Structure 1
Amino acid sequence: MFRSRSKDEKAPTEKVTADLSKQPRDPEAPKGRPTPKRSEAQGQRRRAQSGAPVDRKEAARRQREARRADLAKQREALAGGDERYLPPRDKGPVRRFVRDYIDSRFCIAEFFLPLAVVILVLSMIRVAQLQNISLLLWLGVIVMIVIDSIGVSFRLKKQLKERFPNESTRGAVAYALMRSLQMRRLRLPKPQVKRGERP
């Protein structure tokens, strides 16, 4: 009744299993692995749907592409003034008003770079009178920029208090002064108002 099987009886079953492994798997046959938990299956499904990267190289490549797309949108927004894609430092009604306020005015600070080049050239010429003139020009330009910047700061603070009493205006004056130092053509975001136009 409980006799051991001989080698002859074992051989046919081995042949059958070998033949089965070569054949395609029957979809109704047992799958040969445990059923995954629901949380695991849902996680795998989400990763497949979201197109999550399989390896680190793929993830880094996708991240680089997304960063490039964001930067391209930011460049377009800076050139066109589209508020949706502007960098955080340029977003919001307060910053927009500050930009318009500076762009509508004539600021001495915006001519700092061209004047600095002229003064530098004059100071390099080995003539005592020209070097003295360049030093006086430096002093005069710096004094005028400081006086103009102080006046702009006081007037801008007053305007901001009137127009935005309930909003945070922190950093707005520094933002305005930095913008006033740039030449009008080189300002980003591009000026949206003309000189003399009220913001």
Structure 2
Amino acid sequence: MFGRKQDPPPTVDAPVVDEPPQPVPTGKGRPTPRRKEAEARNRRPLVPADRRAAAKEARAKARVQRDLEYQAMRNGDERHMPARDRGPVRRYVRDSVDARWNLGEFFLPLAAAFLVLQFVTASTAPVVAFASLVVLYVYIIASMIDAWLMWRGLKQRLAAKFGDAALLRGLTMYAVLRAFQVRPSRLPKPRVKHGQHPA
């Protein structure tokens, strides 16, 4: 009990034993989610929580897109034009219409002038008013014949240049409506002058 303190026994280093490597997990490390859980996680509400904010955001995006398309039609950047104005066929149609003198492009100013003349002379000179109306109708018929002749020649040139597959649906109205627009108001803006027919 009161004897001297004994020294601790000497420690012997244990031999180092290489542990076998732990197997690497081959799976994804987590259980596959149940179908109901996956569907619930991917579900999006059909109606957003804040309808006013969503509508405001949609209007802002639409306005930005419209401004981008309008600027593209003014400066000729086809990448941002509406889909109905893109492509070499539509460009060729526009250039062909713009290079030609069309009766239709003078229709709106002449119609406005004839209607004013008819309104002014309706009570004072009914013969002049009737004559102006007849001349206006004759001009409309002549403009339609001119547009038909334009499209007939343009269709042949399109088929020769791009093949029959280029004669897409709606191309006739695209050309005729452009021919009836006043030249400064045409969009996309004309790239050629009168007489500069595309090759």
- Change in Cα spacing, 1:55 to 1:136, as seen in structure 2 (3 Å) is closer
Alignment of 1:159 with 2:157, yes or no, is yes
Larger helix share, 1 or 2: 1
**Mapped partners of 1:176, 1:62: distance in 2:** 36
Assess if the C-alpha contact under 8 Å between 1:110 and 1:180 holds in 2. yes
**Mapped partners of 1:89, 1:128: distance in 2:** 46
Alignment of 1:135 with 2:130, yes or no, is no
Percent identity for Structure 1 against Structure 2 = 40
Alignment of 1:182 with 2:177, yes or no, is no
Amino acid across the alignment from 1:181: F
Assess if the C-alpha contact under 8 Å between 1:94 and 1:172 holds in 2. no
**Mapped partners of 1:56, 1:123: distance in 2:** 53
Moved runs in structure 1, 4+ residues, more than 4 A? 37-40
TM-score, normalization: structure 2?
0.70
Alignment of 1:146 with 2:141, yes or no, is no
Equivalence for 1:58: 53
What is the alpha-carbon root mean square deviation over aligned residues? 2.4
Deviation track 1:52-93 (CA, whole Å, cap 9, x = no partner) reads: x87434333322221111111011011111111111221221
Alignment of 1:76 with 2:71, yes or no, is yes
Q: Tell me how far 1:140 sits from its aligned partner.
A: 2.3
Q: Tell me how far 1:136 sits from its aligned partner.
A: 2.8
When Rg is computed on C-alpha atoms for both structures, the one with the higher figure is 2
Equivalence for 2:170: 171
Count of aligned pairs between the two proteins: 156
**Mapped partners of 1:84, 1:54: distance in 2:** 35
Gaps of 5+ in 1: 1-36, 48-52
TM-score, normalization: structure 1?
0.70
Q: Which moved more, 1:57-66 or 1:147-156?
A: 57-66
Assess if the C-alpha contact under 8 Å between 1:123 and 1:130 holds in 2. yes
Assess if the C-alpha contact under 8 Å between 2:158 and 2:167 holds in 1. no
Could you say what secondary structure the match of 2:100 adopts?
coil
